[in-house]
Amino acid sequence: MTDISERKRNENELIEAKNKAEESDRLKSAFLANISHEIRTPMNSIFGAVSILKEKNLPGNISIMNEAEEQEFLEIITNSGNRMLETVKNIIDISRIETKQVEIRTCGINICHEFMSICLKHMPEIQSKGLKFIKKNGLTTNELMIKTDKDKINTVFKNLVSNALKFTSEGYIEVGCTKQDDNLLFFVKDSEIGISKDKLKAIFNPFVQADLKLTRSHEGAGLGLSIAKSYINLLGGKIWVESKKGEGSSFYFTLPYIKYVNDKKIKPVCGPVIKANQKLSFKNGDNVTILLVEDDEISHKLMLKQLKKVTNNLISAFSGKDAVEICKNNSEIDIILMDIKMPDMDGFEATKQIRKFNRSVPVIAQTAYALVGDKEKALDMGFDDYLSKPINKDHLVKLIKKYSKINSFREVKHNMPSSNSDINSI
């Protein structure tokens, strides 16, 4: 007598929407619980190691810790800090992807060099596990230079290699690339845990990985593969996985082959290699003068400690306004390290004011924001270069060397071996 098809259709849609909302809520709850675990676990390691090191120096305490054990606790602090930083970076990346705030910035890169550089960074862990490392390069010399987004493709490489290492305790890791028609094909293979068939479809989905039992016995927020898939899709490629439980996994992805042709003649940069604990000086023996602008007291103290390894001539400013006044009254400043976020006048405005009367002094931005596109924004606003916090001391020294315009230097102290390695030795 009465057609209730439309009503039943609406009821079914409401039920489906309700189920999806409940599933989404459950997965996000699992994700948040996992994030809490991934932040609190390394924090626990850091606080624990610090408390033990502090007890060592308490009056009346008999030290039972030798130098090797002390170094081990310092390594725990460093590794835990890096783990926590990686978690925060992944959260920021996935948030930008979810809110569609990701921009593509292409440039010319040697794709094989970038791939092998990521592998090189993981070689200590590969060797410590006793894994066999296999590389297969199917690209010719003429095919190596392509046009793509360097930062995003490096993130994809890093996430896939890290993922393979995380789940492989014995056997091998194999990486490679080749050209197929108008695409480049990359792969990262491992020999161990594998992925069951029922989890293969969900492995790239955001939030879902946090709920997979597969990841719970290993560290990580479970966002790496989701970020990798999003970046590859944005770059016009495809990503997929082939795996069987207990037989290892093979991750593949493609990129459009866009050959990079550089029409500009670039002069090679020549000069001496400077180690992190060598001091730089002009020919007349005077140290480089650096103005450090940083309003956070602890960050300021730590930066000064690092900079004293480079030069004795340091000037401090705790605000943007102070930095502008110091620059007006001191023409001998060779480099400015400028914090971005400050209460009275931010680093952008301070640099703008300085550029009105001094356009030659190098100004390097240092910021804890460190999002994609921030470096380009800083360069557009008058900065010469960019450092993201936490600041890597080796990168800091390289930038100081680059912008101090020193052709010769005297070595004040040198007791640290070079850590440079030839990528081809992998």
Sequence ranges of the chain with CATH classification 3.40.50.2300: 289-403
The average confidence (pLDDT) of the chain is 79
Q: Token digits for 223?
A: 């966002």
Higher local confidence (pLDDT), 382 or 219:
382
Range from 50-64, 136-150, 244-258 carrying the lowest mean pLDDT:
50-64
Contact 387, 365 (CB under 8 A): yes
Q: Delimit the CATH 3.30.565.10 region(s) of the chain.
A: 107-256
pLDDT higher than threshold 90 for residue 359: no
Contact 258, 148 (CB under 8 A): yes
Give 62-85 pLDDT, tens digit per residue: 556 677 888 888 888 988 888 888
Top-confidence residue, 207 or 91: 91
Q: Cα 174 from chain centroid?
A: 23
List all residues 6 or more positions away from 221 whose beta carbon is below 8 Å from its beta carbon.
34, 35, 38, 87, 90, 91, 210
- Mean pLDDT in residue range 290-314: 87
Q: Is the pLDDT of residue 133 over 80?
A: yes
Instruction: Look at residue 354 in the predicted model and tell me its pLDDT.
Output: 93
Phi, psi at 357, each rounded to 5°: -120, -10
Lowest mean per-residue pLDDT among 3-7, 177-181, 255-259, 407-411: 407-411
pLDDT digits over 3-54, tens only?
888 888 888 888 888 877 776 666 666 667 767 777 888 888 888 888 888 7
Architecture field, domain 107-256: 2-Layer Sandwich (3.30)
pLDDT for 235 beyond 90: yes
| Number of CB atoms found within 10 A of residue 143's CB | 17
| Fold of the CATH domain 5-98 | Helix Hairpins (1.10.287)
Least confident of 164-173, 180-189, 357-366, 412-421: 412-421
Percentage of residues in the chain having pLDDT higher than 90: 23
Taking only the tens place, the pLDDT of each residue in 138-191 is 888 888 899 999 989 999 999 999 888 888 888 999 999 999 889 999 999 998
Domain boundaries for CATH 1.10.287.130 within the chain: 5-98
The partner residues of 175 in beta bridges, in order of sequence, read 135, 188
Q: Is the pLDDT of residue 418 over 90?
A: no
Domain 289-403 sits in CATH 3.40.50.2300: yes
Integer-rounded Cα Rg, in Å, for the chain is 26
Let me know the angle formed at the C-alpha of 286 by 281 and 290, rounded to the nearest 5 degrees: 75
Burial of 149 (0-12, 13-18, 19+ CB in 10 A): buried
* Residue 254 pLDDT: 94
Q: What is the pLDDT of residue 275?
A: 45
